[in-house]
Amino acid sequence: MKELNIRITLKIYEYEELNREDRELVNAACEATQRSYAPYSHFSVGAAARLADKTIVTGSNQENAAYPSGLCAERTTLFYANSRYPDQAVDTLAIAARNERGEYLEDPIPPCGACRQVMMETENRFKHPMRILLFGQKGIYELKNVGALLPLSFNASAME
C-alpha cells in the first residue's frame, strides 16, 4: 500500500491588501450578484472573469422552475466569456455570493464540483493558469490555478 498526499495552497488576503486590478474584479463579482436570478434558493452568486486582454466579463446564477435547468454563476460567466471571446484566456476569475438576507458571505463560497470541472477545461483549453479569487467578508482566498481547487482531476489527457 502506498499513500499519496496532494497538497493545495491558498492565500487569504484582506480586501485592502488586494491590488487595484483584483479589487476591481472582486467588486465586479459582488455587483454581479445583484443580477442573479435566484427566486428558488435566494442565494445570489456573481462571478467576474478578467481575460488576457483585460476585458472583464461578469455573470450570475440563473435558476429555473425545473431546478436542474438553472446554471451557476461560474459556468454562466465562463461559457459566455469563452463563446464571446474564444481566443482570450481567462486570467483571473472572482466569485462572490450573498445569502437570502442579502448579506455577502463571511467566508468564501467554494465553487461546486461541476463548476470546478468547467474551470479546469477553460484552464487547459488556453494552457494558461486561471487564478481564482473567492470573496468573503472575512478574507479573500486566492488560488493560483484551478488545479488547486480540483486536484486529481479528470481531463482530456486521461483518454489518450
Binding residues for Zn(2+): 72, 112, 115
Binding residue positions for substrate: 61-67
Classify 24 as helix, strand or coil. helix
Among 74, 103, 106, 121, the active-site one is 74
C-beta closer to ligand THU: residue 77 or 88: 77
* Residue 45: exposure state from Cβ atoms within 10 A (0-12, 13-18, ≥19): buried
CA atoms of 103 and 105, how far apart (whole Å): 6
Asked if 48 and 58 count as a contact pair (C-beta separation under 8 A), the reply is: yes
| Residues at the contact surface with ligand THU, assessed by CB under 6 A | 38, 41, 43, 45, 61, 63, 70, 72-74, 109, 111-112, 115
Tell me the closest approach of the beta carbon of residue 73 to ligand THU, in angstroms: 4
Residue with cell 456573481: 46
Minimum Å gap between C-beta 7 and ligand THU is 23
φ, ψ of residue 116 to 5 degrees: the values are -60, -40
Is the Cβ of residue 29 or residue 51 nearer to ligand THU in the bound state?
29
Per the annotation, the verdict on 74 as an active-site residue is yes
Active site residues: 74
